[in-house]
Amino acid sequence: MANCFSSSAAFISVIFLFHHAATASVKVIESTSRKLVLSWEMEDFSQKTSRRNGKAVTELSFSGANTDIGSAGEPVLPAYSFLAGVPRKGNIQIQFSSGSVKNVSLPYPVVTRPDRGNPEMYAAPTFTQQWMSQPKYQFMRKHRIAKLVIRPFIYEPGSRRVRVLLKGSCIITFPSSPVFGGVSPGRSEFLQMMKRNIINYEISSRWIPPARRSPGKKAAVSFPLADGPILHFTVGDGADGFNEGTIDRNGIMKITGQEIISTLGSSVSINQLCLYASEQGEMNDTTPGLSELPSRLVNVPLVRVDAVPNGVVDEQDYILAYVTEASDWVYFPDSNAFSYRLNRYTDDRHYWLKQGTEPWSVGTFSAPAQQGEVRTSFPNRILFKKPLRLPTIEEHGILIEWEGGIDRIWKRLTPGLLSLNENLQMPF
């Protein structure tokens, strides 16, 4: 990543320089289909002092750094990222051990990232360990890879102290996966690039199954939306332009029997209704082979209410489905953390309702026989929100219509104010 300070007019010439930059390196100690053992070593690092907006700041660096971390307004810390090939399914386990750590006091605060209005560009990876990030999985053609980041600097802004990782070791354990013969050698530029960038390329290539060739004609796979009437709708904020990145439209949607009959017909089996949704987030930036093209459809489970219990959709019947926008929070059980899956190109998520062969339903359960617990108090941690539409205004003869947003309701419950009355729009 380019140094974002080199062209800034706010920076003045360097006053002085500490230490000499030395090369940091990640070396492969052991590479098998079961685990990958790596070593990390950085002999030293450099810190230089410059001035920004009239204040002295410290810039940290080390030779070999290929990225940095730090969102807008946060300290910018150089880091090292690399790609490791992983099996096509399952998650890896990471164990990182620090061997040598140096504590350093800095003369001035570490320079912070300026706010350039594009927070996604500098979104920091997720760290659940001190020195190593959680993996970010993606595909490079047929190779499934994990992007990992080592952050050798942990900075404490209050005391201006930084912990520097000089030596360490890492064990990456792979999930069980079939091993094949590997890819045939080649001399293409893309293949050479893959060998340079995937740290365990030889092992990674053995997780790729060989291409299968059928002697006869292959039967075409039926696309779920290929035939029959379809009820199509979208879920989003209904506004064009900048993606607000909210999840205000997430909720339970009710589709009445009258709406279903008007589009799908009067002889629709309620138990064969299928709701498909487009995938959340953005498409992968690599192109899979023709045999691996995904449908990018998600089957959404339904609650089916057959008010007239005859198995056919009547006007009194309805279905319920939990629908979301194109961007949403996603829970990763391995790291026990949430991450926001952003779609920068659209707010709308598409849904298709039709008769199909793979209906999904929400599971049912029986309520417990005993009486529920009665509580007379609760921790005051409840946050309500409601849609807010800003008024249309006129500035310099130009009519400006603001887009909507979220209005948060904050009420502190006290012995003198024991109730909360607000009109909230429910998702039905």
CB 201 within 8 A of CB 189: no
End-to-end CA distance of the chain: 46
* pLDDT score recorded for residue 273: 94
pLDDT band, residue 237 (cuts 50/70/90): low
- Percent of the chain past pLDDT 70, that is, above it, reads 72
For the cut 90, the answer to whether the pLDDT of residue 94 exceeds it is: yes
**Tokens representing residue 252 in the block:** 């339970």
For range 153-175, the mean pLDDT: 93
What whole-number distance in Å separates Cα of residue 53 and Cα of residue 12? 9
Comparing 243 with 295, the larger pLDDT belongs to 295
pLDDT band at 82 (very low <50, low <70, confident <90, very high): very high
Q: Report the pLDDT value the prediction gives residue 24, as an integer from 0 to 100.
A: 61
**Which of 102-116, 155-169, 408-422 has the lowest average pLDDT?**
408-422
Name the least confident of 4-13, 63-72, 121-130, 196-205: 4-13
Between 294 and 420, the more confident residue is 420
Q: Report, as an integer, the average pLDDT of 302-307.
A: 93
Average pLDDT of every residue of the chain? 78
Q: Name the band, by pLDDT with cuts 50, 70 and 90, for residue 171.
A: very high
Task: Report pLDDT for 250.
Answer: 83
Which of 110-124, 136-150, 330-344 shows the highest mean pLDDT? Answer: 136-150
Mean pLDDT across 122-128: 79
Asked if pLDDT for residue 147 goes beyond 50, the answer is yes
Q: Which residue has the tokens 């926008």?
A: 325
The predicted structure's pLDDT at residue 12:
29
Decide which of 119 and 10 is more confident: 119
Residue 208 reports pLDDT greater than 80: yes
Split at pLDDT 50, 70, 90, the class of 284 is low
276 touches 297 (CB < 8 A): yes
98 CA to centre of own chain: 28
Residue 144 scores a pLDDT above 80: yes
Residue 183 confidence class, pLDDT cut points 50, 70, 90? low
Question: How much of the chain, in percent, has pLDDT values that exceed 90?
Answer: 34
104-119: pLDDT as tens digits: 999 999 998 887 655 5
pLDDT exceeds 50 at position 21: no
Give the per-residue pLDDT at 122. 62
Q: The tokens of 52 are what?
A: 């920004």
Segment of 96-105, 285-294, 391-400 carrying the highest mean pLDDT: 96-105
Q: CA dihedral defined by 287, 341, 154, 165, rounded to 10 degrees? A: -30
pLDDT at residue 390 tops 90: no
Over 70: is that where the pLDDT of 191 sits?
yes
pTM of the model: 0.48
Distance of alpha carbon 350 from alpha carbon 325, whole angstroms:
9
Residue 134: pLDDT over 70: yes
> 262 CB contacts (<8 Å, ≥6 apart)?
none
Q: What is the DSSP track for 271-327?
A: GGEEEEEEPSSPPPSSPPPGGG----EEEEPBEEE-SS-SSB--TT-EEEEEE--SS
